[in-house]
């Protein structure tokens, strides 16, 4: 069976209503994020709430807020990122991914806090909303195609990197940087955080988290792909960028798991080649998701 027919068949099996056409990023592509309640805490209010919490407690309350829909409205409008290449036989191919325009945040459009999460919390939120985490190759593509590429602003390293005050301090630096540039909330941004990433390395390091990115102006990341930290680790420099679990292959909606498992398509979105059995890998990494009952 030729490649084009194979992809079409796989997509049709998973999505009988899928149609050919110009790629777009409709809200229906992912699961509905609950509407943000009028009484939901703002970003500055959440910063005060987590000031005295442990890392684990902060993770638990952050995941609860996100799953309840306390997400700035601008994050609900996805942006297309297209990668192009050629198959071994020379056929041109394009894959369009739909990504959040910024990192996961808690609060309103006017008052929000970008929130780092450990791997299990990030995967729980991604799964609930119909997303996955990016591969390093996808992080590169997002940086290259973002409307605004922000200069990284590292803070001095030390024991306080995981603290709420450090997180708030870094958020203030980003806010001031974007204000000077006249960049409004909701702009498709990149460069201001490192990414939690998916990689085959995690199959044998299930208690680790993969971090990558924080690109400089020359496009080179400050952070090469690393699995040094444990899966619960999250510091001020980390962000969670979500990518729709459905992508467009030459215009047809297809599960990203199909693309990542395909030896010919995977290299366009994964520098390490195929990442097979994606759902199995994610289930393996999620393990027990943080809940309020374990926040003590």
pTM, rounded to two decimals: 0.89
The pLDDT value recorded for residue 211 is 98
Interhelix angle 119-129/278-286, nearest 10 degrees: 130
Residue 230's beta-bridge partner residues? 208
Whose tokens are 């790629």? That residue is 23
Cβ neighbors of 281 (< 8 A, separation 6 or more) are 198, 202, 203, 275
First to last CA, the chain: 55
Q: How far is CA 181 from CA 151, 170, 187, 229, in A?
A: 11, 17, 12, 34
The pLDDT value recorded for residue 225 is 97
Per-residue pLDDT of the chain (296 residues; tens, 9 = 90+): 334 434 443 344 333 334 444 467 987 778 899 999 999 999 999 999 999 898 889 999 999 999 999 999 999 999 999 999 988 888 899 999 999 999 999 999 999 999 999 999 999 999 999 999 999 999 999 999 999 999 999 999 998 999 999 999 999 999 999 999 999 999 999 999 999 999 999 999 999 999 999 999 888 999 999 999 999 999 999 999 999 999 999 989 999 999 999 999 999 999 999 999 999 999 999 984 444 333 33
∠ CA 240-42-58, rounded to 5°: 50
The pLDDT value recorded for residue 23 is 62
Structure tokens at 181: 């540039």
């Amino acid at each position: 069976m030729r490649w084009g027919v194979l992809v079409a068949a796989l997509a049709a099996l998973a999505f009988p209503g899928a149609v050919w056409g110009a790629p777009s990023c409709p809200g229906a592509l992912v699961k509905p994020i609950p509407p943000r309640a009028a009484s939901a805490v703002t970003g500055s209010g959440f910063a005060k709430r987590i000031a005295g919490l442990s890392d684990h407690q902060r993770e638990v309350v952050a995941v609860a807020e996100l799953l309840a829909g306390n997400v700035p409205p601008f994050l609900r409008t996805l942006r297309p990122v297209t990668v192009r290449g050629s198959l071994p036989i020379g056929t041109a191919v394009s894959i369009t991914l739909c990504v959040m325009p910024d990192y996961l945040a808690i609060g309103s459009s006017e008052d929000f806090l970008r929130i780092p999460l450990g791997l299990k919390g990030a995967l729980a939120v991604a799964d609930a909303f119909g997303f996955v985490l990016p591969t390093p190759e996808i992080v590169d593509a997002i940086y290259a195609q973002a409307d605004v590429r922000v200069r990284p602003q590292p803070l001095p390293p030390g024991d306080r990197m995981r603290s709420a005050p450090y997180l708030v301090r870094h958020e203030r630096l980003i806010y001031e940087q974007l204000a000077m540039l006249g960049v409004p909330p909701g702009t498709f941004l990149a460069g201001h955080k490192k990414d939690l990433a998916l990689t085959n390395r995690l199959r044998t390091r299930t208690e680790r988290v993969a971090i990558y990115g924080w690109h400089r102006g020359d496009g080179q990341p400050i952070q090469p792909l690393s699995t040094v930290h444990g899966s619960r680790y999250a510091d001020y420099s980390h962000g969670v960028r979500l990518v729709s679990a459905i992508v467009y292959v030459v215009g047809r909606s297809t599960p990203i798991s199909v693309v990542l498992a395909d030896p010919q398509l995977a290299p366009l979105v994964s520098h390490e080649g195929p990442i097979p059995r994606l759902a199995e890998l994610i289930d393996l990494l999620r393990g027990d998701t943080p809940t309020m009952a374990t926040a003590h």
